[in-house]
Amino acid sequence: MKSNIVLVGFMGTGKTAVGKRLAAILNKKFYDTDHEIEKVTGLNIQQILRKHGEKRFQSEEDLAIKRLARKENSVIAIGGGVVLDSENTKFLTENGIIICLTAEPEVVYERVKRRNSRPLLKKVTTYDSITEMMVQRDDLNKYADFHVDTSNLEFQEIIEQIIKIYRENN
């Protein structure tokens, strides 16, 4: 039995918000790779990227995945790029099912346009750039065991779908 639920997806699809609530309902611990990286480094993601670059961030992300993949009975929210590394995917699937949260580009744009704390928003500021980046990251969908489109679902409906997937597959 795989005890972890791994939520992956583009920014604004609900990984963190859904993950926290899902963990509480299922009596699991919640982890977010970005928060774990910030705890270990003492820097926020923007500071890491600015001071040390994307390569260092990816290195920290890989280390966080290795630590979190060993956890049990957890909900883990990860950035979309993480599963593009086959080694990370291998670690995560050993004890978890990977569920990709998706949303239509216009929904993502509406959800994230007022936030400036997301590292990608420094590069991605328009609907067109979000659409372009989503196409570039479309490969991540093939690494997931299941997919949930959050575009037109209420928060509770998203959680119910994930719980149903988890219970039917464990």
Confidence tier at 121 by pLDDT (50, 70, 90): very low
Q: Using only C-alpha atoms, what is the Rg of the chain? A: 15
Confidence tier at 23 by pLDDT (50, 70, 90): very high
Structure tokens at 74: 């957890």
pLDDT confidence of residue 42:
96
Structure tokens at 49: 């990227």
Sheet holding 96-102, edge to edge: 29-32, 74-79, 4-9, 96-102, 146-149
Domain count for the chain: 1
Q: Is the pTM of this model over 0.85?
A: yes
Category of 108 on φ-ψ map: left (φ > 0), alpha (ψ -120 to 50) or beta: alpha
25: CATH: 3.40.50.300
Tell me which H or E stretch contains 92.
helix 86-94
- How do residues 56-106 score in pLDDT, each as one tens digit? 988 999 899 999 999 999 999 997 667 667 788 888 888 899 999 999 988
What is the domain extent for residue 17? 4-168
